[in-house]
Structure 1
C-alpha cells in the first residue's frame, strides 16, 4: 500500500479477491464404509473450488470525502473493507492507500479478551501506527470518551457488547487517522453515547477526514455521505451521488421482492460460485408495470438544506439559520401552483406543516419551465435527532398527488433538554417578589 501524496485517499484498480474452498463429499458416514472404499482403490480426491468474492473492482475515494458502500449481504462489501485495511491481500490488482487508516470492523476486533481495556488501548494504538508515547499521552482522553470508568482495568472478556463497541470506537477515533473505515457501526451503545459518536463523526467530516462507510441504512447514506458505490455480486454496479444510488438501490430491491417473496438457494453445481441472483438494475426496476398517468404539471426535482454560502447541509444545530432550496420543473402554462412543506420525525410523524397558500405567498401566475423556491428558516429550533423534510406541489382543482421531494437531515445539540423543539426563551431569577430586582440569566442562542 502506497502512502504518497494524492488527490485520492484510496485508489483501487482491477482488484480480484478469490477464496479457496475445499469441498468434501459427505457420502462416507462410517469408518467401515470409508475403509472398504479405500481398500478397493475407490478414494476420490478432495475437490477444491475458488470463490470470487470481488471481481475486477475499480474505485477511487477522494481525499476528505465520505463514501458509502451499498449492497446486499454477500455482495462483497466487508471483503472490500478488509482489503483496504490490509487484513486481506488482493488475489490480483492493486490498492493504494494515502494516509493512516483506522477501522471499526468486527465487534472488538483486535482486542485480547484476557487483557484489560487499558492494555488493549495501548496494543491497538500501536497496531494503528502510534508510538507508545503517543498512546500514553491520549490514554486519559480515550478512557474518558469511552465512559468505562473502573471497568477500564478489567479484562475485556467481562465487557458487554456495548462496552466493547464504546472502547473500540473511542480508540479508533482518537488515534488521529486520515481515513476512517466503518462497517455497520455508526450508532454505538446507548442513546447518550450514540449522540457522542455522531458528534465525533461530524467533527471528523469538518476536519476533512476521509470516511468509508458500509451500511444498509439508506437514510444514513443520503444524510451523511458525499458519494456512494453500489456493489452487487462482487462487482461495482454504479458510483454516484448518495441520492441517486439510494433511489436506484431501493427500486432494484423492491423489484426483487416483488418477483419473489422467498428465495431458496439452489445446490451448488461444479464450478458454481454460489453467488446470489443479480439485483435488478434501475432500468429493470423502472419497467415495473404501472397504470398510465398524465405527466404532473409541476415536478419537484430536488430539495435540500443549504447554508448562507449555498453549501448543502446534512446536519444542523438547533440555533442555526438555514435555507431550503426547492428546485422544480413545470409544464408550460402551469398556473396557480402551491407548494406544501413539512418536517417529520424519522418515523414519519408530522412535526410542522405549512404551505405557500397558508403563508399567503403567491407563486408566479405562470411558473417558468424551471425554477427554484427558497424557504428561509431564521432559527431551526429542533432538538437533536433525525428528521425528514418533505415538499409536494399541486395546482388548482387537484390534490397533492405528485411524488414528494424529500431530504433527510440530522440535528446535533450539545444541550440536555428533551422533547422535539427548542423555543426561544430566557430565565428570570428574582431575589424576592418584594424587592423585585431581577437577574436575567439568558440562555445562549435565545
Structure 2
C-alpha cells in the first residue's frame, strides 16, 4: 500500500509576547492601551520527517510540551505549517481534543449529525449509521440530552464512535485511549485494529511507551519539538524508558535510609528512586501478604507531599524474584485521571482475583510525573507477596475448565 501521510521538513512556530514593566504611575495607567509586541519566535516543531503507509500505525511519544498535539493538529489540517509540507490522502477521522467539534447546547443526536457531516458524510449516510454510532458509544438513554450534561467519559465515547464510523482513511488519536473505563478502551483497541486491517493509516499520540511498543508498527519520539528518534517501536520505547530512568536518578536526592510505617527499610538508589516531591509513606497488601492463587488482593498506597502536584500517575507491578514482570498497571492505562494532590492521601488498587501460581513475588509501586518524565517515588522489590503453592507449576493460573465431547469434566 502507498503512503497515506507524508510529512517533510515540517516546522511550526509561535510568537512569544512580553509586556514591558511600567516604571511610573502614568505608564501603568496607560499600559492597557499599549499593544504587546512579539519579542521572539518559539519553534514548537522543526525538521520533522516521517511517513505512514495505509494499514500502518505510528505511535508518537514525548513529554508534555514536546509538540505532539501540535503535530497532530497540522496533520489533521488544523492550522498551517510555517515551513515544510504535510500531505494526507483520503478522509480524516480526528480525535484531536476531548469533545472537539461538539456544541454543548446541542443534543448528542444533533452533534452526531453535525460532526459526521463535517467529516465528509452525507446526511443520509449519517442516518444509516446513526444507530451503530450510538450503540458503540453506549449512550442510547442519553442521546437526546444536551452534550453539556455529558461526563468527560461520555463525550469521549461519542467522539470516538463518530470518528471511527466515518470510515476514515486516516485516523488521528490524541491520548483518547487514556480516558474511559477499561472495557471501553478494549472496545476502542479492537475497532482500531479492524480499521488498520482494512487499510486505515493511524497516528496515536501517547505518553505510554509500552502502549506504543505493543500497538504500533513504527514510533516517533519528539523532544522539544525535534525528532529524537524514529523507527522500531521496541527500540524507541526502550530509549524513551531509559531516558526516563536516567532523569529519575538525576533527580533522586541524597538521603539516609528510612523505614516505612510498617517497618520496612528504604534506601535511596537501592530499592527507592525518585525526586521525592511526593513520598510513598507506606504500602499494605490486604488481607495479607500471604494469599492463595485466585483470591482477592488489595494494595493500599499511602503518600504525602507538601507541594501541589498536578495529575500524578500511580503504578503497580508484580514480578517474580528473577525480575520477570507478571502483571503491571497504572492509572493512565486504567482510564483514571487523578486530580491534583497535596498533603496526605491514599490510593487503593483492588484485584478481584490474582491468578498467579505459588511462589514469592514482589509488588513494586510508584508515583510518577504526569508526562512520565520521571518518578516522584518508586519502591522496587520492597514489598514481598507470598502466593500459596498449588500442584500447577505454571506462572499463571487463570480460572479454567476441561470438557470432553461438550461435557464438563469435574475435577
CA displacement at 1:105 relative to structure 2 = 1.8
Q: Which position in structure 2 is the counterpart of 1:345? A: 327
Gaps of 5+ in 2: 254-321, 331-353, 360-395
Question: Match for 2:74 among 57, 61, 83?
Answer: 83
User: Match for residue 96 of structure 1?
Assistant: 87
2:121 aligned counterpart, secondary structure: coil
Q: 1:128 to 1:45 in 2, by over 3 A?
A: closer
What residue is the counterpart of 1:423 in the other structure? Answer: 400
What TM-score does the superposition give when structure 2 sets the normalisation length? 0.62
Which residue matches 2:20?
25
Q: Distance in 2 between matches of 1:353 and 1:241?
A: 36
| Closer, same or farther: CA 29–346 of 1 in aligned 2, 3 Å | farther
Q: 1:9-158 residue pairs with structure 2 within 5 A?
A: 9-27=4-22, 32-34=26-28, 46-158=37-149
Bigger mean CA deviation after superposition, 156-165 or 192-201: 192-201
Q: Aligned residue for 2:175?
A: 184
Cα 1:133–1:345 change in 2 (3 A) is: same
Q: Distance in 2 between matches of 1:99 and 1:55?
A: 25
The match for 2:386 is none
User: Are residues 1:236 and 2:231 paired?
Assistant: no
Higher relative contact order (CA 8 A, sep 6+): 2
Runs of 5+ unmatched residues, structure 1:
1-5, 263-339, 355-418, 428-439
1:260 equivalent in alignment to 2:237: no
Q: 2:205 aligns with which of 204, 211, 214?
A: 214
Q: Which residue of 2 aligns with 1:433?
A: none
Secondary structure in 2 matching 1:90: coil
Cα pair distance change 1:342/1:76, threshold 3 Å: closer
Deviations 1:144-172 (A, max 9, x none): 11111221001100001111111111111
Alpha-carbon distance change, 44 to 107 in structure 1, aligned in 2, over 3 angstroms: closer
| Greater fraction of residues in strand | 2
CA distance in 1, matches of 2:57, 2:398: 29
Q: Secondary structure at the residue paired with 1:153?
A: coil
Give the stretch that moved more between structures: 197-206 or 146-155.
197-206
Structure 1, 202-211 or 122-131: larger mean CA deviation: 202-211
* Shift, 1:63, TM fit: 1.9
- Aligned position for 1:7: 2
Q: Shift of the alpha carbon at 1:44?
A: 9.5
**In structure 2, how many angstroms separate the alpha carbons of the residues matched to 1:244 and 1:28?**
55
Look up the match of 2:371: none
- Displacement of 1:206 in angstroms is 2.8
Cα distance per residue 1:318-354 (max 9 Å; x no partner): xxxxxxxxxxxxxxxxxxxxxx996722349883699
| Count of paired positions | 282
Instruction: Show the 5 A alignment for 1:352-371.
Output: none
Q: 1:72, 1:85 → 2: CA distance? A: 21
Compared CA separation, residues 24 and 142, structure 1 to 2 (3 A):
same
Contact map agreement 1:187 1:198 (CA 8 A) in 2 = no
> What residue number does 2:316 align with?
none
Give the 3 Å change call, closer, same or farther, for CA 207–29 of structure 1 in structure 2.
Answer: farther
Deviation at 1:114, TM superposition (A): 0.5
The aligned runs of 1:302-341 (5 Å cut-off) are none
The alpha-carbon distance between structure 1 residues 426 and 350, as it changes in their structure 2 partners (threshold 3 A), is closer
RMSD across aligned C-alpha pairs, in angstroms?
3.2
2:285 — aligned with what? none
Runs of 4+ more than 6 Å apart: 340-343
Q: Which residue of 2 aligns with 1:289?
A: none
Pairwise CA distance, 1:79: 0.4
Contact 2:209/2:240 (<8 A) preserved: no
Residues in 1 aligned to 2:36 and 2:119: alpha-carbon distance in whole angstroms: 43
Q: Distance in 2 between matches of 1:248 and 1:98?
A: 31
Mean alpha-carbon deviation: is it higher for 249-258 or for 169-178?
Answer: 249-258
